[in-house]
Amino acid sequence: MARRALLTGITGQDGSYLAEHLLREGYEVWGLVRGQANPRVARVRKLLKDVRLIRGDLLDQGSLIAAVEKVQPDEVYNLGAISYVPMSWEQAELTAEVTGMGVLRMLEAIRVCSGITASRTPTGGQIRFYQASSSEMFGQVRETPQTELTPFHPRSPYGVAKAFGHFLTQNYRESYGMFAVSGILFNHESPRRGVEFVTRKVSLGVARIKLGMAKELRLGNLDARRDWGFAGDFVRAMHLMVTAPKPEDYVIGTGRMHSVRDLVEVAFATVGLNWRDYVVTDPSLYRPAEVDLLCADPKKAKTQLGWEPKVSFEELVQMMVESDLRLLSSGRDPEHDLAW
Ligand code: NDP
Ligand code: GDR
């Protein structure tokens, strides 16, 4: 019988790539979707035809228990979150509830449905759990590159909520013997990335300027440095972690760091333009507390899981700019149409 996976965050970037990957691997894939008339659900229904959808919300414990009971998954991937860092200052409590407490609710749903209780000899249950942890937990870094052992100093309510979910996942593994793992993923991008994130904002901005639809691109801190990889590569790592012989946490990134300035330079060069002629720095886009630099040391994932990224930074930026040129040229609206 096909293995069954339940994904939260199916309407997001990673949910789409992971669903496709698991379907290729022969899984029966279920996606948890929320809301009464969520327009992203209709698009997912159209684009991920083989995924079965079930209603539920990370804010609603009962709905998660009902979903786990109905789907009877072998694996649960918790990708759902409020994931845009600036929003976590505007709606800190909601971020804590969804991105932090949502992890507790999903772990509890699995625990209750598996009949696992606290005891000296925990049973662990059959369901394997993946938590989407983040390099934002490192925040103000004390060492670089960052490994699984680097201490956390989150710099946003989002990073704090992710740290809560991370420690809780570890705790359920230790307390109940559950197969529960966290992937500490560094920034990963794609043509399906939300338009609010810097890579997609840049690829769209470049495409608009190239097509004569805009004259400038307003950005915040150009000095911030990140380890940017391709989302399609990173979802393979999630699956490898969940199907590994032992439950362990892994850092996933490329090990190469670039600044936002490097990003705009490469993106504008893709269409033969000089970024200096178009980019405007806007102080209102700076964050109350910035994460200056993040760079992964993915040695453990390479050694133990055999995972390595395939797409380079330059190939990723080119892929995103070309996709947005196609999207805009075909008259579609990037704020409302998915780029796939
Ligand atoms: P997206 O922002 O693209 O997707 C977020 C998903 O969360 C959406 O499907 C959204 O659904 C869902 N969601 C939001 N609120 C709730 C809720 N109350 N209940 C259930 N689902 C909800 O994120 P990504 O795909 O980029 O990231 C996936 C996960 O990985 C996130 O947890 C993110 O924090 C984490 N992460 C991402 C990294 C990256 O670089 N992309 C790096 C490290 C971690 P809806 O359509 O209903 O709003
Ligand atoms: P990040 O991604 O906060 O790292 O979180 P984002 O793309 O939003 O920012 C990256 C860096 O770029 C700087 N920046 C800008 N960012 C945005 N969004 N818009 C701008 O105009 C702009 N100008 C400069 C930011 O200051 C920042 O330093 C992402 C999310 O996917 C999280 O959910 C995930 O956990 C982390 O990556 C790893």
Average pLDDT, the chain: 96
Percent of the chain with pLDDT over 90: 90
What pLDDT score does 124 carry?
Answer: 82
Tell me which residues have their CB closer than 6 angstroms to ligand 2: 83, 85, 134-136, 186-187, 196-198, 201, 219-221, 224, 226, 260, 285, 287, 290-291
Name the closest-CA residue to atom 8, ligand 2. 197
Sign of torsion over alpha carbons 234, 239, 240, 244? positive
pLDDT tens-digit readout, 230-285: 999 999 999 999 999 999 999 999 999 999 999 999 999 999 999 999 999 999 99
Which listed ligand is nearest to 85 at the C-alpha? 2
User: Ligand 2, residues 187, 258, 275, 278: which to mutate, most atoms within 8 A of Cβ?
Assistant: 187
3 state DSSP class of 58: coil
| CA-to-CA separations, 92 to 70, 83, 86, 87, 290, in angstroms, rounded | 32, 12, 10, 8, 16
Question: Which of these is catalytic: 158, 176, 250, 278?
Answer: 158
- Which residue is associated with the tokens 């079930």? 54
- The pLDDT score that the predictor gives to residue 339 is 62
Beta strand pairing status for 250-252 and 179-185? parallel
Please write the tens of the pLDDT for every residue from 4-23. 999 999 999 999 999 999 99
13 Cβ inside 6 Å of ligand 1: yes
Q: Are 214 and 199 in contact (CB under 8 A)?
A: no
Calculate mean pLDDT across residues 99-125.
91
Question: Is 134 part of the annotated catalytic residue set?
Answer: yes
Pocket test for ligand 1, best of 54, 83, 199, 238 (most atoms within 8 A of CB): 83
Any idea which residue has 């993946």 for tokens?
A: 130
* Annotated catalytic residue within 16, 63, 83, 134: 134
Mind listing the domains of the chain with CATH numbers? Answer: 4-188+228-252 (3.40.50.720), 195-226+258-294+311-329 (3.90.25.10)
Least confident of 100-104, 118-122, 276-280: 118-122
Q: What tens digit of pLDDT does each residue of 206-216 get?
A: 999 999 999 99
H/E element, 233? helix 231-242
Residue owning the nearest CA to atom 15 of ligand 2 = 198
Q: Which of 170, 190, 203 is nearest to 15 (CA)?
A: 190
Distance CA 130, CA 183 (A): 7
Q: What's residue 338's pLDDT?
A: 65
112-121, 252-261, 321-330: lowest mean pLDDT where? 112-121
Rg of the chain's alpha carbons, rounded to an integer? 20
> How many angstroms separate the CA atoms of 259 and 294, rounded?
10
Give the pLDDT score at 340.
Answer: 59
Q: Which band of pLDDT confidence, cut at 50, 70 and 90, is reported for residue 118?
A: confident
Contact predicate 77/58, CB 8 Å:
no
